Structure 1
């Protein structure tokens, strides 16, 4: 019996990288996992991984999961995701908002379409999905909402470092908005027993996305394995809200804190 036995978890962006690792970790602890992402067939993305691959690994390990094709930029897809999870497994206990569409482009060159898409997937979608699952969580008197953030949410230092011109301003804006949403929602839902937290890696995680954008390399010595984020996500997805909510947590720091307590 894992700590999530009987729980239902929805994980977005679960086709690869951090999302896939979290989905597999939650399933290993007994959660019934709904893996959501756009990539159903390998030919749909230049990046490796599909939601079918993630589900196959979960099932091969003895877990329970199904893949729900979802374009997080579409309101109807978000509604269909939660509806499918409830019809298949029941009330959603855990929501992990991990999906991201990211363009690293300087502000002077950013297009309106890309700007709108980034905010739709990384800010509006988590907001909407949270609204969809909150009623069921309130009815049960418990629930966990986890928003995956980034160190990019922090303000830059001055004089700026070598990556200042890399084009991460809009990405940082999205993550900063997500973190403020996290703490505000945590305060709103504290009395309902629903935990809301944000989680960032301490170091760059080598995923198909970060490798594609050349944020790291496979052999960089300070890389953080996806499994570290998955372990930290698990820690934030089963403890009572009275103990652990409203946190802007960093994976390695959180795990060290919990181990010491």
Structure 2
């Protein structure tokens, strides 16, 4: 297709729908070869709309290059297989977008151990492990980009607490806060290697199959942020040199406004 990412290989997890799918489509539009990873291969597998095949079809219909890889990010072997398969199909991975999430909402006293462990495995351990797997190749080539998708839920609550304090988002916020601290620490470690590591959150709730299912928003709620805004911000964080843009806990609309202002 041609573009800023021509010749680059990207892996996007959680890309069967929502923000992940939008990011995969955007990176492919700039010429990247994209490996679309998620659990949902067939529509019947999930209550939520969208499959990895659907995302690949969107990319190919627009003239891009992509392949689907069924991946359960909670499984160590699946994570290893994903990186190996991407390398065998397209070559070394230049861009890793950790977007996959498994989310449950329940107050801490009611949270089950299984759900707690699963959320941390997918949202914290998987990005950590996948980063370990791709960093050696990025170091060897002298550049790379790792982007972790976070949330405003990582911020500490205000006191007295607001109306959503009892909604059950504590564990989700813990996962995202851990992911952000991992982001800045890894960015510092890899700064000299010209590998950018950033975290990105939407400024507002994005209407996706997941957020609609959990009733975090509605399709027509005022102030909703389209997935394409996150995708544009993700692209911005996945091609600039680390010296210019790394170690950021960025918010999509704020980042895009900053970059527009800097460009004059």
Report TM bin, short chain.
Answer: over 0.9
Aligned to 1:155: 156
**For residue 193 of structure 2, what is the aligned residue in structure 1?**
192
CA distance in 2, matches of 1:244, 1:91: 22
Which residue in 2 is equivalent to 1:129? 130
In 2, Cα distance between the equivalents of 1:47 and 1:221? 23
Matched residue, 1:12? 13
Take 1:22 and 1:5, find their aligned partners in 2: how far apart are those partners?
A: 16
Aligned equivalents of 1:18 and 1:197: distance in 2?
16
Match of 2:230 in 1: 229
Question: Residue 221 of structure 2 aligns with which residue?
Answer: 220
The alignment's TM-score, normalised by the length of structure 1, stands at 1.00
Structure 1 gap segments, 5+ residues each: none
Alpha-carbon separation, structure 1, partners of 2:131 and 2:5: 20
Gaps of 5+ in 2: none
**Cα RMSD for the two superposed structures:** 0.3
Q: 1 CA distance for matches of 2:4 and 2:210?
A: 30
Q: Does 1:206 align with 2:212?
A: no
How far apart in 2 are the matches of 1:228 and 1:30? Answer: 19
Give, in whole Å, the separation in 2 of the partners of 1:105 and 1:132.
Answer: 33
- State how far apart, in whole Å, the 1-side matches of 2:58 and 2:247 are: 32
Shift of 1:233: 0.0
Q: Structure 1 CA distance, aligned partners of 2:76 and 2:170?
A: 25
**Which 4+ stretches in 1 moved above 2 angstroms?**
none
Map of 2:64 onto structure 1: 63
Q: Report the Cα distance in structure 2 between the residues aligned to 1:30 and 1:105, rounded to whole angstroms.
A: 41
What's 2:93 paired with? 92
* Alignment deviations for residues 187-215 of structure 1 (CA, whole Å, 9 cap, x no partner): 00000000000000000000000000000
Give 1:239's aligned residue: 240
**Per-residue CA distance 1:66-111 (angstroms, 9 max, x = gap):** 0000000000000000000000000000000000000001001000
Tell me how far 1:221 sits from its aligned partner: 1.1
- What's the TM-score, normalizing by structure 2? 0.99
Aligned partners of 1:85, 1:254: CA distance in 2, in Å? Answer: 29
The residue aligned with 1:178 is: 179
Cα distance per residue 1:7-54 (max 9 Å; x no partner): 000000000000000000000000000000000000000000000000
Aligned to 2:157, the other structure's residue is in SS state coil
Cα distance between partner residues in 2 of 1:105 and 1:74: 24
Question: SS of 1:144's equivalent?
Answer: strand
Q: What's the counterpart of residue 116 of structure 2?
A: 115
- Quick one: distance in 2 between partners of 1:220 and 1:53? 26
